[in-house]
Structure 1
Amino acid sequence: MRRGSRQVGWGWRILLIVVIAWGLSACAPTERRVQAAELANRRIRVTATTTIVADLVRQIGGDRVEVISLMGPGVDPHLYKARESDVWKLMRADLIVYHGLHLEARMADVLAGMNRWALVVAVGEAIPPEQLRYPPGERIPDPHIWFDVRLWKRAAEPVAQALSRLDPTHAPQYRARLLAYQQELDLLDAWIRTEVQRIPPEQRVLVTSHDAFGYFGQAYGFEVRGLLGISTAAEAGLADVQALADFLARRRIRAIFVETSVPLRYLEAVQEAARARGWSVQVSGPLFSDALGDPGSPEGTYIGMIRHNVQTILQALQGE
């Protein structure tokens, strides 16, 4: 097991011990469950793992939900370590929503212990297995499904279902918001497909810090390369840097993209290695991959983040 994964695992194991100990000393699970009549008269308290998942809950729940995210802007979920404050955030929740598909490392162990006291939902489970991407040599699926807008449209459905289950009084409202948001996502998907046509097919090569954009490439016609794998838990080796630099020089790729949640130094090493081969490549971006931007900014929502990424990619690959 790599060092980064081991550190994350121990952090979540400690939190799991705290959760179990709290549960044994607390009231019975049937007493912890909040009654639908109570939720009909107050906002549903939701704890989400990532900023992307938290935004999805807000879009579907509207003013009926109070959402807390364990991870903030720029936080890498692959490397996230549990904190003491996370215990309170999980314990107070009526609904816990996480991504799943191994994005949150060992967090699934903790959440399995929470489903006795709160409704727990993994949005990634809404994606049919045959639509999941498995990079070469990987035994677990690529979790970055949100980069195919059509898949994220499906991921919204279990959120609406969970809210309706907890609060059936307002189920029509959640359903209406789901349908409205899915229509927005249809428009976003169509916009992306139109915009990428501005880039000649031979220039549609997206090189990023880690392999987060595979679904984007499959959906919108890009060849995608990442220095790191689908998880950022492992360091890039010299061979990885040299191989990517060879690719850039051979294909005459003009731009590579740094991500907000991955250190710049990785791509700076690639840039230097390409320069040693007589090819100058620009480090562009940043792109938002595993986390949204700051609250209140255009990139602070999923739709705003996707639009920012597409516009940034177009500007760099077109040489504008």
Structure 2
Amino acid sequence: MRRMWLVALLMLLSAGLLQGQEGKRLLAVCSTTQVADFTRQVVGDRWEVRSILAPGQDPHVYEIKPGDSQLVSQADLCVENGWHLEGKEWMSKLAHGANKPLVTGVEGLEPLKIEGEGITLQDPHAWFTPLNAATYVRNIVRGVSTIDPEHKAEYEARAELYLNQLRTLHLWIQRQVSQLPPSQRVLVTSHDAFGYFCAGYGFVSKSPTGWSTGDEVGGGATPERQRQVAESLRQFGVKAIFVETSVNPKLIRQIANDAGVQIGGELYSDSMGPPGSAGETYIGMMRENVLTIVHALK
């Protein structure tokens, strides 16, 4: 009898251990809020998804913290944007330092080029069209399916639905933007994050002469440079310019006032909005950006 009880106890313990293993969620650690949202759309509740950047933080100037290395050391997969969005390649360094597999969202896309401090760079802000965002999603599907092939069909099914939503978003943006005549599609923002949006939807993207997108917008600004920026804004002849939620708007508002132009509103750029805000998801941030731009420029 004692032996039967022992066998039964071992079977129960074994079943409980297996159940615990099956119930353990995998961990994806993402660099930015956008790639974290794309990842959640693919993995659902099967994975835990963590973003190193919090809403409102700037990936260009982010400095690695001790807790970041600890978090990445526990990851089953890391996901980054790529093309140097993560300044000094901080996400790649974290993943490679911990010997973790890394998905790069922009892989397979054709980059736009931007000029920075006398050199030509790949514009990393590729997610600003839903058609490009679809490439991020497909790259993530491949990455998570490699780690967890047993649930590949599930990840592909979630991605199929989300890709349909991205196509709908693209068509909706086209309809909204069509309210603006081409002559009014001039987008002036506080740094050059909207190149793909402008190229995709018929806008001209302009950056004021003398402005800086270095160590951050307006960095090292002098009275003479501020005067140059204000004069440049007046020459653009736009109804409004826009600030971004991931940069300090104080100097931008001052220069807009000097130039006699309106601030058309805040746009989500390198970061999505906080939980509970209209821009807490990728689709939400794109929707709110388009509504803000069209309303201000009409």
User: What is the one-letter code of the residue matched to 1:205?
Assistant: V
SS of structure 2 residue aligned to 1:59: helix
Aligned counterparts of 1:159 and 1:40: Cα–Cα separation in 2? 22
Report what 2:194 is aligned to: 213
User: What is the one-letter code of the residue matched to 2:159?
Assistant: L
User: What is the one-letter code of the residue matched to 1:163?
Assistant: V
1:317 deviates by 0.8
Which of 139, 149, 166 is the matching residue for 2:120?
139
Kindly indicate whether the alpha-carbon contact (under 8 Å) linking 2:244 and 2:268 is maintained by their aligned counterparts in 1: yes
Instruction: Determine what percentage of the aligned residue pairs are the same residue.
Output: 38
Kindly indicate whether the alpha-carbon contact (under 8 Å) linking 1:148 and 1:216 is maintained by their aligned counterparts in 2: yes
Aligned counterparts of 1:229 and 1:195: Cα–Cα separation in 2? 31
Aligned counterparts of 1:79 and 1:155: Cα–Cα separation in 2? 22
Change (3 A) 1:243 1:218: farther
Report what 1:69 is aligned to: 51
Aligned counterparts of 1:46 and 1:126: Cα–Cα separation in 2? 21
| Range moving further from structure 2, 234-243 or 212-221 | 234-243
Kindly indicate whether the alpha-carbon contact (under 8 Å) linking 2:79 and 2:105 is maintained by their aligned counterparts in 1: yes
1:103-182 to 2 correspondence within 5 Å?
A: 103-106=85-88, 107=90, 108-114=92-98, 116=99, 118-127=100-109, 131-136=110-115, 137-182=118-163
User: What is the one-letter code of the residue matched to 2:104?
Assistant: A
1:266 deviates by 2.9
1:1-320 to 2 correspondence within 5 Å?
A: 41-106=23-88, 107=90, 108-114=92-98, 116=99, 118-127=100-109, 131-136=110-115, 137-227=118-208, 228=211, 232-233=215-216, 235=219, 237-238=221-222, 241-274=226-259, 280-318=260-298
Aligned counterparts of 1:229 and 1:185: Cα–Cα separation in 2? 32
Kindly indicate whether the alpha-carbon contact (under 8 Å) linking 1:45 and 1:65 is maintained by their aligned counterparts in 2: yes
Point out where structure 2 has 5 or more consecutive residues left out of the alignment: 1-19
Change (3 A) 1:200 1:241: farther
1:110 deviates by 2.9
Report what 2:12 is aligned to: none
Aligned counterparts of 2:271 and 2:295: Cα–Cα separation in 1? 21
User: What is the one-letter code of the residue matched to 2:134?
Assistant: K
User: What is the one-letter code of the residue matched to 1:48?
Assistant: C
Aligned counterparts of 1:229 and 1:158: Cα–Cα separation in 2? 32
The one-character-per-residue Cα deviations of 1:267-303 (angstroms, maximum 9, x if unpaired) are 12421431xxxxx211121100000001233210000
1:230 deviates by 5.8
Normalized against structure 1, the TM-score is what?
0.79
The one-character-per-residue Cα deviations of 1:217-261 (angstroms, maximum 9, x if unpaired) are 000011112355665546164465444423332332111101011
Change (3 A) 1:256 1:89: same
SS of structure 2 residue aligned to 1:292: coil
1:109 deviates by 2.7
User: What is the one-letter code of the residue matched to 2:82?
Assistant: G
Aligned counterparts of 1:91 and 1:188: Cα–Cα separation in 2? 36
Task: State the aligned residue count.
Answer: 272
| Range moving further from structure 2, 82-91 or 158-167 | 82-91
Kindly indicate whether the alpha-carbon contact (under 8 Å) linking 2:60 and 2:86 is maintained by their aligned counterparts in 1: yes
User: What is the one-letter code of the residue matched to 2:205?
Assistant: V
Aligned counterparts of 2:252 and 2:199: Cα–Cα separation in 1? 23
Kindly indicate whether the alpha-carbon contact (under 8 Å) linking 1:40 and 1:167 is maintained by their aligned counterparts in 2: no
User: What is the one-letter code of the residue matched to 1:312?
Assistant: T
| Larger gyration radius, structure 1 or structure 2 | 2
User: What is the one-letter code of the residue matched to 2:114?
Assistant: P
Change (3 A) 1:122 1:218: same
Change (3 A) 1:284 1:39: farther
Root-mean-square deviation (CA, aligned residues, Å) is: 2.1
SS of structure 2 residue aligned to 1:93: coil
Point out where structure 1 has 5 or more consecutive residues left out of the alignment: 1-37, 275-279
SS of structure 2 residue aligned to 1:121: strand
Aligned counterparts of 1:55 and 1:231: Cα–Cα separation in 2? 27
Change (3 A) 1:187 1:141: same
Aligned counterparts of 1:221 and 1:39: Cα–Cα separation in 2? 51
